[in-house]
Structure 1
Amino acid sequence: MAVETDESGWEVDPDDEWGVAVITTVGRQLKLRREAAGMRAGDFGVAVGYGEDLVYKVEGGKRIPRQEYLDRADEVLGAGGLISAAWEDVKKVRYPKKVRELVKLEGKAVEIGIYECSSVHGLLQTPEHARALMEAAQPPYSADDVQRMVAARMARQSVFERDPAPSIHFVLEEAPLRRPVGGTMVKQQQLERLLEVGSLNHVSLQVMPTNTEAHPGVDGKIELLKFPDGTAVGRSDGAFNGRPTAEPRELRILELRYGTIRAQALPPRESLAFIEKLLGDT
């Protein structure tokens, strides 16, 4: 059996208090079960296919265990699925803290409004499109980091499957829709994904044509989230230093800008026809 070696991207973020707590607890339980089974760390590492040093790191809460590690540990220690079940919490620690917080907010919102100017919004991206964008970054991410970020981005898209479903409104600029990110096939799949999501009865998708006059979104993207209790939060690259805000006066400014953008964009039906034409021309 090949022994896995240490690699980047699976370290615990020390500033992520929840993540540290989860991995520390899982590591402690693994150590207690191993010791109760009378196994030394080295022997256990051989049994699960990990080096002894990595076993100590996992048990010490210094390294996030892979799902395969937990499954092998469960089998070796005869835990009856209890160790494997920890993956449901462990996998969330793999997502960056900021992404988890955004997912949490999107998961509570009853209405989501998004204007994206420079790319297809993350909630609408296919895995291949997202991967192509991340692989183009400079300085480059490691392959493991790319995989981690793609998984985090795809996890956010569970918002479309919520019941009851939130009302979601997108406005996308034309230019990013024409950019062949990832090549022709990936572009085609991305346009098909936009048509699929735009056809959902709780989703409104609009396109802002390039030949449109200046509008309030030229300074950057806008995101507005509204919650069941009547509260809201929003942010815009071009307002309030880009920070999130829940202040009523500032939210009114963002809502005014977003409403103006939606009014200037193509209506939803015309937008889907526009995307269909782009797909046909690809």
Structure 2
Amino acid sequence: MGEQVSAAALIRSQLRRARVAAGLSQEEYGRRIHYSTSLISAVELGNATPKLDFLKRADDVFDTGGLFVALRELGRREREPVWFRPWLEAEREATQLRCFAAMMVPGLLQTADYARAVFRLDPTLTPDRVEEMVTARLDRQAILDREDPPHLTAVIDESALRRFGVDGTDVLVGQLRHLLACARRPHVSVHVLPQGTGLHPGLLGPFILGCSADGGWMAFLDNQIGGTVVDDVDGVATLLGRWESLRSDALPRQQSIGLIEEILKPWT
């Protein structure tokens, strides 16, 4: 049985094949898609990952009918853990998302540097695997940039926003600035759960809920080694109840933005 070819390797080989078949040098091809010859070479050698815009332009030049963009989507799904895929499908179809995060900023609102710092906490992950996971996380966030994005409401424990470290101050400052930018988007609501709240149901763990166009709900629970999809009626009802409790204890939207700005002040 032959060795399985990854989507990334397939994209790389087919980009070169299409360029050669069209009789284009790397320099000529670069001019057509408005990218440098050095980047064309790096992509074909596997030393650079082509971005979405790069692949869209390649599809246009070679009239592929969207082949390269489709292969990129296939590659993105290859990087997703099998246990996470059912939730990701639900997340992509959701019209509403509600998430609670106790210890860190939720994945849909993370910067690349913050996500990278989180993934590096696992000593079993190689640098290459960390970068793959960062890319997958940023790809996941693309749902918030669609023409018809879901409305995301996030409740974040204040302690997660004050987790400054000696080596991670710049990372968290950048993350909080990004969080403020997200919180001002019309389809994103960020609410901070104040430190003085005391005991609350969110201490039992983070979760995210998604509602589909037909009104059905599904949830996902994070844990140390993976996660669990919750789609049974009783489980979802329990999490919806806990969500309502957390949301009622959290600060209103504008007060939350003000608190994040206050947390940032000493570091800017």
Q: State TM-score, norm by structure 2.
A: 0.73
User: CA contact under 8 A between 1:114 and 1:224: conserved in structure 2?
Assistant: yes
Number of residue pairs matched?
Answer: 221
The CA RMSD over aligned residues, in Å, is: 2.6
Among residues 256, 262, 267, which one is paired with 2:241 in the alignment? 256
Aligned to 1:217, what secondary structure does the other structure show? Answer: helix
CA distance in 2, matches of 1:144, 1:81: 32
Which among 183, 197, 202 is matched to residue 212 of structure 1?
A: 197
C-alpha distance in structure 1 between counterparts of 2:176 and 2:155, whole Å:
14
Superposition deviation, residue 250 in structure 1? 2.5
Whole-Å Cα distance in 2 between the matches of residues 244 and 94 of structure 1? Answer: 19
Corresponding residue for residue 68 of structure 1: 12
Moved more, 89-98 or 192-201: 89-98
Bigger Cα Rg: 1
Deviation at 1:77, TM superposition (A): 4.7
Alignment-derived partner of residue 149 in structure 2: 165
Q: Is the 8 A contact 1:94 1:148 kept in 2?
A: no
- 1:109-144 CA distance string (max 9 Å, x none): 1111000112111101100111111122223x1121
State whether structure 2 residue 129 is matched by structure 1 residue 153. no
Q: 1:221 aligns with which of 206, 228, 234?
A: 206
How far apart, in 1, do the equivalents of 2:222 and 2:129 lie?
A: 25
Residues 265 and 93 (structure 1 numbering): CA distance in 2 closer, same or farther, change over 3 Å?
A: closer
Q: 2:159 aligns with which of 175, 190, 196?
A: 175
Query: CA distance change for structure 1 residues 94 and 244 in 2, over 3 Å: closer, same or farther?
Result: closer
CA distance in 2, matches of 1:270, 1:224: 24
- Relative distance call for 1:281 and 1:90 in structure 2 (3 A) is same
Separation in structure 1 between the aligned mates of residue 192 and residue 69 of structure 2, nearest angstrom: 43
What is the CA distance between 1:100 and its match in structure 2? 4.6
Q: Following the alignment from structure 1 to structure 2, what is the Cα–Cα distance between the partners of residues 70 and 267?
A: 51
Residue of structure 2 aligned with 1:109, choices 80, 94, 109: 94
Q: Which amino acid aligns with 1:75?
A: R
Instruction: Work out which of the residue numbers 121, 126, 135 in structure 2 matches 1:142.
Output: 126
TM-score normalised to the size of structure 1? 0.70
Greater relative contact order (Cα < 8 A, sep 6+) = 2
CA distance in 1, matches of 2:219, 2:72: 30
Please, which moves more after superposition, 71-80 or 225-234?
71-80
* Secondary structure of 2:177 counterpart: helix
Aligned partners of 1:235 and 1:254 also within 8 Å: no
- Measure, in 2, the Cα distance between the counterparts of 1:89 and 1:224: 24
Give 1:12's aligned residue. Answer: none
**1:222 maps to amino acid:** F
Query: For residues 170 and 93 of structure 1, do their structure 2 counterparts lie closer, same or farther at Cα, with a shift above 3 Å needed?
Result: closer
The one-letter code of the counterpart of 1:87 is L
